[in-house]
Amino acid sequence: MLKKKSMKALLLACMLLMMAVMAAACGGGDKGSSQPSSGQAEAGKEAAAGGEKKVLKVGTDAAYPPFEKMGPDSKPVGFDMDIIKAIAEVNGWEVQIEHAGWDPLFEDIEKGKRDIAISTITIDEKRKKKYDFSDPYFDAHQLIMVPESANVTKIEDIKDMRVGVQSGTTGAALAEKILGKGNTKLRGFDDMPSAVEELYAKRVDAVVGDNGVLNDFLKNSGKAGYKVVKDPNVVPEQYGIMVKKGNKELLDEINKGLKTIKENGKYDEIFRQYFGEEKK
Partner 1 sequence: MDWGVIYEYREMFIRGVGYTILFTSVGVFMGTILGLIFGLGRLSKNPLVRWPSVAYITVFRGTPLFVQILLIHFAAIPEIWGLFSEGEPPSAVFSGFVALSLNAGAYIAEIFRAGIQSIDRGQLEAARSLGMDNGQAMRFVILPQAFKRMIPPLGNEFIALLKDSSLLAVIAAPELAYAGYATAKSTFARWESYLTMAIVYLMLTLIISRFVAYLEKRFATE
Residues of the shown chain interacting with partner 1 in the complex, contacts defined by CB under 8 A: 102-103, 106-107, 126, 130, 164, 167-168, 172-173, 176, 181-182, 184, 187-190, 194, 197-198, 201-203
CB-count exposure of residue 121 (10 Å: 0-12, 13-18, 19+): buried
CB-count exposure of residue 265 (10 Å: 0-12, 13-18, 19+): exposed
Q: How far is the CB of 188 from partner 1 (least distance, A)?
A: 5
Q: How far is the CB of 201 from partner 1 (least distance, A)?
A: 4
CB closer to partner 1 out of 189 and 275: 189
Crossing angle for the helix pair 248-263 and 266-275, to the nearest 10 degrees: 80
The C-alpha atoms of residue 66 and residue 119 are separated, in whole angstroms, by: 11
CB closer to partner 1 out of 198 and 210: 198
Q: How many CB atoms lie within 10 A of CB 90?
A: 17
CB closer to partner 1 out of 123 and 172: 172
The C-alpha atoms of residue 208 and residue 210 are separated, in whole angstroms, by: 7
Q: How far is the CB of 1 from partner 1 (least distance, A)?
A: 30
Q: How far is the CB of 205 from partner 1 (least distance, A)?
A: 9
Q: How far is the CB of 70 from partner 1 (least distance, A)?
A: 16
CB closer to partner 1 out of 203 and 245: 203
The C-alpha atoms of residue 274 and residue 85 are separated, in whole angstroms, by: 15
CB closer to partner 1 out of 42 and 124: 124
